[in-house]
Amino acid sequence: MSIKKLNLLLLSILLLLIIACDSKQSPPNNRIVIGMSADVQSFNSLFAFSYEESTIADLLYPGLLDFKWNEEKGELDPYPMIAKSWQWAEDSSFIKFTLMDDILWSDGKKLTASDIVFSYDVFSDPDVQSRLYGIFNQLFTESDGHVNIEKTFNIISPYEFEMYFPENSIPDLVKIIVPVIPEHVFKNVSRDQLANHESNFNPVSSGAFKLKKWERNQSIILEADSSSFLFKQGQVSEMIFKIVPDYTSRMLQVKKGEIDLVELVKVEDVLELKKEEHLVVFPLFGREYDYIGWNNIDPESISGGQVKQNKFFGSINVRKALSFAINKKEILEEYLQGLGELAASSVSPIFISSYNNEVKPYEYNPDEAKRLLALEGWKDEDRNGILEKGKEEFKFKMYYPVGNPLREYAAIVVKNNLKSVGIEVTTEKMELGTFIDNLYERKLNSWMAGWGIPIPLDLKPYWYSDQNVAVLNFQSYNNSEVDKILDRLEDKLSNEKKYELIKEFQKIIHQDEPVTFLYWTPNIIVYNTKIKNLKITPYGVLVHCWEWTLN
Amino acid sequence: MKSEIIKTLFIRFLSSVLTLFLLVSFLFIIIRLSPGDPTDKYISAKLGSELSERIAEKFSLNQPVTNQFFSFVANVFSGDMGVSYNYRLPVFEVIWEYFSFTLVFASISFVFQMSLSIWLALWVIKKRKKWLNKFVTDSSLFIYSIPAFVLGVALIYIFSVSLNLFPISGLKSLDYDKLSFFSQLLDKLHHLVLPLITLTAAGVAMFYKYIKESMDEVLQQTFVTNLRASGVDENIILLKHVIPNALRPLISVAGVELGILLGGTLITEVIFSLPGMGRLTVDSIFSRDYPLVIGCVFTAGAVMILANFLADIIKLKIDKRLIKGILN
């Protein structure tokens, strides 16, 4: 090829590019594009393990009932969905559900009571290994957790059935309602093969939206299903989930108007985004908090069988001293720009009825910290700036997972704060998978992490003494009073009594300070002003998105 | 001679298979010894570790590592790399979906890297201007030293955000299906311009330096002076005599570069949200999807071996005297 021909080729490529640039089309204006960082692996609600998967699966497969966030009480209220009404038996031994009789699956088949029963059967089947496996202990179950269909359900007609509960069980509607999946699609599929079934990628759904197209790692397009019982004239015609793994690209697309809604925006971008007239910045509080974990027992003693108190963090006074020594407010104001709230316990202020206003976070008070440490025998006798008790110096390593700038900033503040009271901390980042593994194995002495708060409130897995029950009690906290409260919360009690017990729980946790509660971190949501009827509550951002409209 | 070629080719094939086998075996042991557990994400507050244990059982993760290794070896020899824990699909089915994009994307970038660098070197040589030579050499060094994540973001900011000429990310428009065939082609091209520039720029700069130096060396040789003295046209000297001689040392480097590109172009894929092997590999590592990690590394290893073999064949095409050295 001569040089002239090569030049010509390059010129034609350039020309083609100019044509391509000119071929941009303006998008239809009845769609909402939501930015996501990761793709889904399945649309089947059974296997929706990730946040992204459950968000989309919940739109495709509504449950028997719907729930709405009660702002006044700070709890969920049940609303009709597939069931238009439900009636408790006088002795609470069963509920009679009456279904809507005009609900169609996206393939045109009718949704009936047998789909509901089938859903409970499959979700609880140990061979399926669904995301809800094991939560059905308030129903009649076999020893392997599988719901006993015969004992639990009585189908009266295609649109009426009764759900029975064992004696002494305290069923909570929020905990027992599952998404409904189509029996006619899955009934002939071997249970252990359900995870690989083709329908997981081409779902037959009953929600307000159905899957139109899925381009792996690019986009998921849901279109309004006009045959759905949730369909309303004027609703958004397409919900598009655009997968953009790079945070910077996601933010640029939000600013440019290519993405209409995005979650988990970083605090450092808030000021800039607020300047954009077409965007609304909405910080949602109360679903996540950061804390510093202090292992209450000696991690090395676990393998030996004889569990010993942690030489540093086994004492309540030392843990309180650490909380007094850390200037949480500084982190909140400097890094989080006030977009957060100091945490006093693991009970979120969003649970208005259960929240104990009298429990206040430990305020920054290095003198009080020093006093408490001295009380426990930690004194700087050799004047080297580090406290010691006998021959033991107060030195430890604090781990935190990589990739969280807030925690990186907080780690520096914590290190400096503790240094000023005579404690030497070495901070070390750890890859997330390794970090989680170390937590499950209770190998860490001290760490900084965060918890997402489940709705409804669930405290036992985090604070109960028995580690087999409380798999997430990484700090190995042990208090029989707390255990009693957590056990009692599972009894048949009035709501008022439950609120009282949870308030008492917060008081004890505050006294024991098993970890240092830092702050409630915001989930910052940014959305385009063209979206109307959007109601963001702690229950979720996209719930009821079929009610959204566009300007 | 022919039977000798077949024999040595067969030996090279066997040694490649052995290399790949050792690679995946080594990886199998390393990832199982490293911290982290693929079933951690199935531990739930309510259920504890029950579901995670069931899943570990399903994927034989509760077996001793030696048992897992022997069953892995048996599966590898039957062509089965296992099922991805996350995708719940056979590993090669998942990989093919991502590799097909990487194959096209990396190949286009590679062709651009080679052709642009040769064109640039020829242009600079033909102009015979000292300042131009210095300018292009310094610029290529500058471009080569810009990390892909900086170049990618800068290109997005200039061409997508400020000038609104190209899309920020993705492979095609959301309304791609509604477009005509020609518009679909243009749409894809439109989306791939910035990623291709990001991926290609450093390659062009690197190859330019190799080619330019190599061409300068060839131009100093006596046969070029003889050709010029004989009155042969300068274009013919460059295209028919200088380039083939100058390209020879470049081909081995090009083989390695092609292998690297086909193994995945992580940074470009992440910045521009492209579904390629780089993202798949890294995601599988972070989620501890062991079979998929092994499958990705196997694929990267296989394409590296193939790309090098291809480079050797091209070298052979240029100079048949190299046959023995290449086959061995």
Q: Is A432 on the interface with B (CB under 8 A)?
A: yes
A260-306: per-residue pLDDT in tens? Answer: 999 999 999 999 999 999 999 999 999 999 999 999 998 887 766 67
Cα A248 from Cα A269, distance rounded (Å)? 10
Average pLDDT taken over every residue of chain A: 90
Residue A206 predicted with pLDDT over 90: yes
Q: With bands split at pLDDT 50, 70 and 90, how would you rate the model's confidence at A148?
A: very high
Q: Is A471 on the interface with B (CB under 8 A)?
A: yes
B244-264: per-residue pLDDT in tens? Answer: 888 877 888 888 888 888 876
Cα B298 from Cα B308, distance rounded (Å)? 15
Residue A8 predicted with pLDDT over 80: no
Q: Which domains does chain B have, with CATH numbers?
A: 2-327 (1.10.3720.10)
Model ipTM value: 0.78
Residue A479 predicted with pLDDT over 60: yes
Q: Which domains does chain A have, with CATH numbers?
A: 67-209 (3.90.76.10), 286-523 (3.10.105.10)
A378 Cβ contact list (under 8 Å, min separation 6): A318, A387, A388, A389, A394, A422
Half-sphere exposure (Cβ direction) of A188: Cα atoms closer than 13 Å: 3
Instruction: Write out residues 209-228 of B within 8 Å (CB-CB) of A.
Output: none
Contact B211, B113 (CB under 8 A): no
pLDDT at B233: 85
Cα A145 from Cα A147, distance rounded (Å)? 6
* A74-83, A183-192, A315-324, B6-15: least confidently modelled range: B6-15
- Give the DSSP H/E element, type plus range, for residue A342: strand A341-342
Half-sphere exposure (Cβ direction) of A380: Cα atoms closer than 13 Å: 14
Query: Is A135–B51 a contact, with Cβ atoms under 8 angstroms apart?
Result: no
Query: Is A41–B37 a contact, with Cβ atoms under 8 angstroms apart?
Result: no
CA distance B86 to chain A (A): 7
Q: With bands split at pLDDT 50, 70 and 90, how would you rate the model's confidence at A26?
A: low
Query: Is B189–A16 a contact, with Cβ atoms under 8 angstroms apart?
Result: yes
Cα B323 from Cα B8, distance rounded (Å)? 10
Q: Is A243 on the interface with B (CB under 8 A)?
A: yes
Nearest chain B alpha carbon to A17: B190
CA distance A438 to chain B (A): 8
- In chain B, which stretches have pLDDT less than 50? none
pLDDT at A25: 52
Q: Is B7 on the interface with A (CB under 8 A)?
A: no
Alpha carbon separation from B37 to A436, B32, B33, B255 (Å, rounded): 9, 9, 10, 36
A396-413: per-residue pLDDT in tens? Answer: 999 999 988 999 999 999
Dihedral sign, Cα of residue B297, residue B301, residue B306, residue B311: positive
Cα A148 from Cα A164, distance rounded (Å)? 10
CA distance A223 to chain B (A): 13
Residue A3 predicted with pLDDT over 70: no
Other CB atoms within 10 Å distance of the CB of residue B317: 10
A27-55: per-residue pLDDT in tens? Answer: 556 899 999 999 998 899 999 988 899 99
pLDDT at A308: 86
pLDDT at A2: 57
Q: With bands split at pLDDT 50, 70 and 90, how would you rate the model's confidence at A10?
A: low
- Helices A405-420 and A316-325 sit at what angle, rounded to 10 degrees? 110
Query: Is A41–B288 a contact, with Cβ atoms under 8 angstroms apart?
Result: no
Query: Is B169–A246 a contact, with Cβ atoms under 8 angstroms apart?
Result: yes
